[in-house]
Amino acid sequence: MTSDKKQWDYSQLRKYDLNFEQIPRVYYKDSKIDELLALNRPVVITGSNIVKPACERWNLEFLEDHLGNSDHTVYVSRNHVFKYYDEKKILSKSNPKGVKFKPPTRIVEMKVYEFMQKIRDWRHGDDRIYLQQSLNASVGQAIAEDFVRFDWQYVNGKQDKHNWGPLTSNLLFVAMEGNVTPCHYDEQQNFFAQVYGYKRCILFPPNQFECLYPHPIFHPHDRQSMVDFEKPDYNKFPKFKQAKGFETVLGPGDVLYIPIYWWHHVESLLSGGPTITINFWFKGGPTNIEYPLNDHQKVSIMRNIEKMLVEVLQDPKEVGPLLRTMVLGRFT
């Protein structure tokens, strides 16, 4: 039994003007896990062997020796925030002139030893880096062996029991201490497995869509919140005040279930050293339409309406005015 003494303290968490409920931590054999998965509610699965082989020996040195010699996708940021953007949407037809979007991070392909060297040499003021790469056949033998020894029986069991779609990818995340992935949602079910170091995750249910103000879907930051959690603009985003989040701090071996369409903000603890995480992304699976519709189905409907309007209006600047004309003063 690992000592349940906390390995971190609150000074390592960034401060936000929000209050949070704790995400429940449940032992992996407990049937409560399935109750929460069935309700698309977040839960931290503890004591499992899902990524145990990795927890036993992965650290930055091990990854340097065994990740293989191919290039790896590394995001570079001038600050600690790594706000994801979809490159395909920068010059898409929905943004004809491709003007004014300035990517907040850039992507550099580098060898794993370059990445590790930059982490070792890092000084305050230097660019920060974040390796985000799908685990694929290019990894070394040792990593491949550990990967096949993950507890796939447990993972596949949950995938089947809860009618998730196929596993689409396992992404490997290697972050510097203090790195932040700002609040966004994904359209996949996610087992977020912490392997090394400590990560704080803040989650919001899909029904808080109006408090988190996502960028328009044709924007490169589609699915990301427009609100800067560190300096919220309450004039532009007044409902952010009412956002009610759930949070947890994950340590090695903890696996957080991030339900499809749930908003999540992820940060590697301040002065907690580098972190290693593996996620398991699954397609959502068949949605049998039942009424009343659930919250993530409404998000999906809103996305489809926005897509259709961009298509039919061609000019994204006309989408807002048309929706305001249609709604304001009429659906009170």
Ligand X SMILES: O=C(O)C(=O)C[C@H](CCCc1ccccc1)C(=O)O
The least CB distance from residue 84 to ligand X, in Å, is 4
| Cα(37)–Cα(41) distance, integer angstroms | 6
**300 sits near ligand X (criterion: CB under 6 A):** no
Residue with smaller CB distance to ligand X, 166 or 329:
166
How much is the CA Rg of the chain, to the nearest whole Å? 20
Q: Name the region of 113 (left: φ>0; alpha: ψ -120 to 50; beta: rest).
A: alpha
Residue nearest to Zn ion (CB): 186
**Two tokens at 226?**
């427009």
190 binds ligand X (CB under 6 A): yes
Among 12, 40, 132, 159, binds ligand X (CB under 6 A): 132
Q: Is 266 in the site for ligand X (CB under 6 A)?
A: yes
User: Could you tell me the smallest distance in angstroms from the CB atom of residue 154 to ligand X?
Assistant: 19
Contact status: 221 vs ligand X (CB under 6 A): no
Q: Which residues bind Zn ion (CB under 5 A)?
A: 186
Neighbours of 115 (CB within 10 A): 22
Residue 266 interface partner, choices ligand X, Zn ion, none, CB cut-off 5-8 Å depending on type: ligand X
Q: Which residues pair with 203 in a beta bridge?
A: 246, 264
- Give the CB-side neighbour count of residue 190, counting CA atoms within 13 A: 22
**Contact of residue 132 among ligand X, Zn ion, none (CB under 5-8 Å per partner type):** ligand X
| Nearer Cβ to Zn ion (186/222) | 186
Binding residue for ligand X (CB under 6 A) from 58, 150, 164, 173? 173
Residue count, binding to ligand X (CB under 6 A): 12
Q: What are phi and psi of 166, to 5 degrees?
A: -65, 150
CB 227 within 8 A of CB 183: yes
CB nearer to ligand X: give 118 or 184: 184
Determine, following the binding rule CB under 6 A, whether residue 277 of this chain makes contact with ligand X.
yes
| Least gap, CB of 60 to ligand X (angstroms) | 16
The β-bridge partners of 171 are: 134, 279
CB atoms near residue 71 (< 10 Å): 14
Rounded Cα gap, residues 167 and 281, in angstroms: 6
What does the alpha-carbon distance between residue 1 and residue 38 come to, in Å, rounded to a whole number?
A: 29
Q: How far is the CB of 182 from ligand X (least distance, A)?
A: 9
- As measured in angstroms, the least distance from the Cβ of 104 to ligand X is 13
Out of 58, 115, 154, 192, which residue is the one contacting ligand X (CB under 6 A)? Answer: 192
Strand 245-250 and strand 20-22: pairing? parallel
* 109 SS3 class: strand
138 vs 170 by CB, closer to Zn ion: 170
How far does Cα 59 stand from its chain's mean position? 21
Does residue 248 touch ligand X according to CB under 6 A?
no
84 makes contact with ligand X (CB under 6 A): yes
Nearer CB in complex with Zn ion: 192/316: 192
Min dist CB 213 to ligand X, Å, is 17
Cα(132)–Cα(215) distance, integer angstroms: 23
CB neighbourhood size of 296 (10 A): 21
Binding footprint of ligand X on the chain (CB under 6 A): 84, 132, 173, 181, 184, 186, 190, 192, 264, 266, 277, 279
